[in-house]
Structure 1
Amino acid sequence: MKKRDKSTSTAKAELARLIAPVAGRLRLAGLLAAVSELLWAAQSALVALAIGGLLAPPVLLPIWEAALGFMALMGLRAALDAAAQALASRGATRLVSTERQALISAAARLDARASGLTPAELASLAGEKLALLGPFAARYTPAEMRSRIVPLALILMTLPFSWIAVLIFLIALPLIPIFMALVGIAAQEASEKQMAQMGTLNGALVDRIAAVTDLRLIGAETRAGNDLANVFERLRARTMKVLAVAFLSSTVLELFSALGVALVAIYVGFNLLGEIPWGSWGAPLSPEAGIFLLMIAPTVFQPMRDLSAAWHDRASALAVATDLAAAKETLAREGTLLGYGTPEKPLPPATLRWAGLALRPAPNAAPIRFADGAIAPGEAVALSGPSGAGKTTLLAALAGLIRPDEGAILWGETELNDANADDIRAAMGWLPQAPQFIAAPLAEAITLGREGDLNAALKAAQAEDIIAALPEGLATPLGDIGGGVSGGEARRLMLARAHHAQAAMILADEPTADLDADTAQAVMAGLMGLKAKGAALLISSHDPAVLAACDRVITLEAGGLQ
């Protein structure tokens, strides 16, 4: 129980922090909506005066004057409601977009070792989960403010006419927040389980998509499909649980509202008939007073009814806030890459050197110490050694994707740091073992918006036949992992990207791994074509053919560079 109370307290604090930047806008939206709702009392008074005069002359207000006043107030209320909804909607949109951008920006700056938040978890949180903050901000927050203003104001308007009606309101109204709080415990628990199941579904879906080729090869498509269907079914069950709690809360709270309104209607009716002569300050209610009380009674309960209808939005928002706080804590523990990810002008070619370098292959692992090294422009150097010796870690550090624990990395005489990392990376071409592209048409994924001869780059990478085989050619969107082409073809397309960028330094991690001999030869030819243009190559590889093609080999043992 204490653990849950602490979790709830953390979620409320995080939710308050999330709302703070747009709280003023949401409060104004709630105030405008409250004023609009209170104008119903004026409309009710106009109707009561007009109809009451017809029931018991003299006529205090002609029908046509009451109708004109009623329509004018209706127009004013419509304008206030539209303004309130626009403010709340803009506030909710800003809240979601701001938090989504902050989350994605923080995740994008994680270094190459980060492992605490999977892409599926990030996508689920930044996508459908954060979107649930919108209804909370747009509906629940203004409704909460209305519930503090409107019922009290209308009760004070009721007091001069009948103390018994006030008593009915004061008894029935507090029951609503009491049951809202009780239902809220179940609602938050159901929402938290739904959030967790969303993350599970995203992770399962990403895993199945990534392994679709292997699943086909081993004939496990049906089993994988069934497993995914089971995950979908569990999410459906969780979602239905959330909806069941929401409908239950609305039903219970509607019951109390209906009972309160019914009791006021019964009292007014019997008082007007003379059967209940008490409760109206010694004199029977006038027809005008009775009609007025009947018309405003539902409005006394309406803000609470709206608040109860949006109560599950609060429960969902608290669950999202819990996940978001946990994600931010995880991201804060991870290291960040050097630089700020902004487009910069590449530095001119220079020797890449490192000295006294110590790197951790994982955040909590022991550091690997590397001997000093350097690569000159136009030189091809291979990194060799057993798995786990630090080849990939070194490449990532040289690109500024991992912060060194000790030592310095220099581009010429410029030491790599946050201020110049983007300039240095702009002069590099990065070929990871797992190809990566931006989710855009292939032409844009290769050029990245740079000017240059795309056809010449494709020819240099021997990738022209790949483009010809694609259904839409260069307009084909591949997705971020190169869907629609083989691994070897994806690497040749990454080579085309490096040729087009005219990178001064190429960092390649196992570029020929898992490729057949012909494809591996084509990839190496593309790399050597870059060397012929003056680019420096640093290639991590176990392939004897790659090692033989390089000018020299740096061998890594268990303790680092030797």
Structure 2
Amino acid sequence: MSVLSEVPHTSAAQQRRLQQQWLAGLASGARSQQRLAALAICVSGALLVVQAGAIAWLIQSIVVERLNWVQMVHGFWVLAAVLLLRSLLGGLAQAAAGRVADAAKLALRAQVYRRLMARGPLWLRRQRSGELGELLLAHGDAIEGYYAGFQPVRVEVVVVPLLIVAAVAYVDWVVALIFLFTAPLVPFFMMLVGWGAEAAGRAQLGELARMSGHFADRIKGLGLLRLYGRGQAELAGIAEAADGVRVRTMKVLRIAFLSSTVLEFFASVSVAMVALYLGLSYLGLMSLHAAVPTLGTGMFCLLLAPEFYAPLRRLAAHYHDRANALAAAAEVKRLLADDPGEAPVVAPPAPLVAPEPVQLHAPMVALRAASLRPKGAAHDVLRDFSLDIADGQRLALVGPSGSGKSTVLETLAGWLPPREGRLLVRDGVRIGYAGQRPYLFHGSIADNLRLADPAVSDARLQAVAEVAQVMRFARQLPLGLDTVIGERGFGLSGGEARRIGLARLLLLEPDLFLLDEPTAFLDPQTEADLLQALASHTRGRSVLMATHSQLAMRWADQVIDLQPHLQQQEERA
């Protein structure tokens, strides 16, 4: 779990500190590139002083001392070498900072993906996919500017101005004092504007995520909206959401342009003060030295004056990247924060295994005195429910709709932890679950089956499709298993989609098959053929099937009726 979710109630300053720690942690895998970028920036800053000194010496030699070209040729060579080195160092720093940004974006997406996987499919069902998608897209782009822009400039603003002040103080302490007294104005106003920029950036990212979720949902339900004549109304809603994004984007740009104008003004005034001091000194109207500064000294100070404020101006420009990154961190926390009072999700491969004495014929999976409550429900659907599943056993789980059959399967799959009681799973047991609504992606039927085993051979793919009765309808399609279907199985019936989900599970070959209504919507002959093929294919493995079918109940070794547990629950209520 990231540092963003460790402390639920903190002050604004503490939240900002946690967000900065989280941002720093994203680039932990690219520390060497960060150090390389910082070193290149510092060396380039030192060479900037050498460059200004070479130019000032050349001007002094040409205008005042009137040296010939032969005597100044080494100065030109130094200047050319410095310009070339600074160009190479600038490219090196930019490339290293880009690699840091790429590593941070990859770490963000991996962290978000792991977090979404940890929340489990039950939580994901209640989220807007478009809004979650923005965590991997817009929020990743938001932190890119932080690492590629703000972080390198932050190093530059600490090192380069100090080098320039030290060099200028060596030749003229008055100009150095002007630099030191005017420099704090830039970060002061940058800080004032940055607070507003961060708030505006957070609002803009939040609105963009909400609009993405809204738009993605409407695209998915476009056919239904048109059927009920809601197309124009939804167009108006999308236009309103887009206008909200436009307004917030303009607020961010307004703050950015305002801060840039203010900071450029103070930087320009500071450079003008240096020029005014030198001009008055040359005119003899101001004398703070025993001698008037030479032309070379004046040019050296004037050349470094804008360069002294340049890192501060760049920091101000990239300060909005920092604000956007902090806003992205806040949005990640908001969208991935734990629900109040929600129990952590147990990962499917390793459900809660209680230490018990080893038994000779221990069940492969067992529920002990479990109270089960579906996600979002106010009451338990089952209480004090126990179930043992032995090796090679075929069980039918029956009961009226809403009796908790799917909840039992989701608990055994590790998706939903028991509110009370224990889930026991023997070491090494692999569990597979085929739900009522398997998610099918846009692509061919074969591609959707290969999600379970990308390296599966065509022969085995065909065999599994025969067992799940997929070939019964695939043979009627133009391209068979290579026929392309739409997202969420568009173009298939509910029973056909469930058979594809079952075939996908058969490719995994788990030790325990959890099947939720696999024979629903099937005609009697197809159902009989499916159960017969399933019995042959799963021989030696265990099957727990939630069903309403009498044929499936006769197929099972044992029928578990949830009705008595419901009656006990009603009596307790």
**Structure 2 length normalisation: TM-score?**
0.82
Q: Aligned residue for 1:78?
A: 87
Distance 1:381 1:246 in 2: 64
* Aligned-pair CA distance for 1:109: 2.2
CA distance in 1, matches of 2:435, 2:149: 46
Q: Whole-Å Cα distance in 1 between the matches of residues 386 and 194 of structure 2? A: 61
CA gap 1:460/1:157 in 2 versus in 1, 3 angstroms = same
Amino acid aligned to 2:412: L
How far apart in 2 are the matches of 1:558 and 1:362?
23
Look up the SS of the partner of 2:266 in the other structure. helix
Of the three residues 416, 435, 438, the one matched with 1:435 is 438
- Tell me the amino acid that sits aligned with residue 438 of structure 2: P
Measure how far apart 1:223 and its partner are: 2.2
Mapping of residues 58-207 of structure 1, within 5 Å: 59=67, 62-114=71-123, 118-207=128-217
Match of 2:562 in 1: 556
Native 8 Å contact 2:208 2:245 kept in 1: yes
Deviates further, 209-218 or 4-13: 4-13
Contact conserved, 1:358 with 1:406, CA < 8 A, in 2? yes
Q: 2:417 aligns with which of 399, 403, 425?
A: 403
1:364 CA drift (Å): 8.1
Q: 1:228 aligns with which of 229, 234, 238?
A: 238
- Quick one: which amino acid aligns to residue 368 of structure 2? A
What is the deviation of 1:33?
A: 0.8
Q: Find the residue that maps to 2:74 and give its secondary structure.
A: helix
SS of equivalent to 1:253: helix
- 1:305 is matched with 313
Check if 1:357 corresponds to 2:357. no
Distance 1:512 1:224 in 2: 37
* 1:177 positional shift: 0.9
Do the aligned residues in 2 keep the contact of 1:7 with 1:322 (CA within 8 Å)?
Answer: no
Q: CA deviation at 1:506?
A: 3.1
CA distance in 2, matches of 1:177, 1:4: 30
Deviation at 1:242, TM superposition (A): 1.5
2:119 alignment partner, SS class? coil
Q: Which amino acid aligns with 1:88?
A: A
Bigger mean CA offset, 453-462 vs 315-324: 453-462
The answer to whether the 8 A contact 1:147-1:307 is kept is yes
CA gap 1:267/1:471 in 2 versus in 1, 3 angstroms: farther
Listed one character per residue, the Cα deviations across residues 345-372 of structure 1 (whole Å, up to 9, x for unaligned) are: xxxxx86543323333237855532433
Counterpart of 2:47, as a letter, is L
Deviations 1:411-440 (A, max 9, x none): xxxx35xx64xx412xx3x22122124677
Letter in 2 for 1:43: Q
Residue 26 of structure 1 corresponds to: 34
Residue 535 of structure 2 aligns with an amino acid whose one-letter code is K
Helix, strand or coil: the match of 1:372?
Answer: strand
Q: What does residue 10 of structure 1 align with?
A: 15
Rate the CA distance shift 1:543–1:340 in 2: closer, same or farther, 3 A.
closer
**Which residue number in structure 2 is paired with residue 347 of structure 1?**
none
The aligned runs of 1:319-468 (5 Å cut-off) are: 319-327=327-335, 329-330=337-338, 334-339=343-348, 352-362=365-375, 365-367=378-380, 368-375=382-389, 377=392, 379-387=394-402, 389-409=403-423, 415-416=425-426, 420=428, 423-425=429-431, 428=432, 430-437=433-440, 442-447=445-450, 448-449=452-453, 451=456, 453-464=460-471, 465-466=473-474
Secondary structure in structure 1 of the residue aligned to 2:11? helix
| Gap change, CA 1:163 and 1:276, over 3 Å in 2 | farther
Aligned to 2:5: none
Q: Is the 8 A contact 1:355 1:372 kept in 2?
A: yes
Paired amino acid for 2:92: A
Give a deviation string over 1:447-486, Cα, whole Å, max 9, x none. 322535112222333334447647795374755x335544
Of 495, 499, 513 in structure 2, the residue corresponding to residue 488 of structure 1 is 495
Aligned residue type for 1:432: G
- How far is the alpha carbon of 1:304 from its aligned partner? 0.4
TM-superposed deviation, 1:50: 1.3
Identity percentage over the alignment?
28
Unaligned runs of at least 5 residues, structure 2: 1-7, 351-362, 569-573
Count of aligned pairs between the two proteins? 536
When structure 1 is superposed on structure 2, of 305-314 and 368-377 the one drifting more is: 368-377
Aligned Cα RMSD in Å? 3.5
CA gap of 1:297–1:284, structure 2 versus 1, over 3 A, is: same
What is the deviation of 1:547?
Answer: 5.8
| Distance (whole Å) between structure 1 residues aligned to residue 330 and residue 19 of structure 2 | 8
1:200-221 deviation line (CA, Å, top 9, x unaligned): 1132133223433422332323
Give the C-alpha shift of residue 305 in structure 1.
Answer: 0.9
Q: Confirm or deny: 8 A CA contact 2:528 2:551 kept in the other structure.
A: no
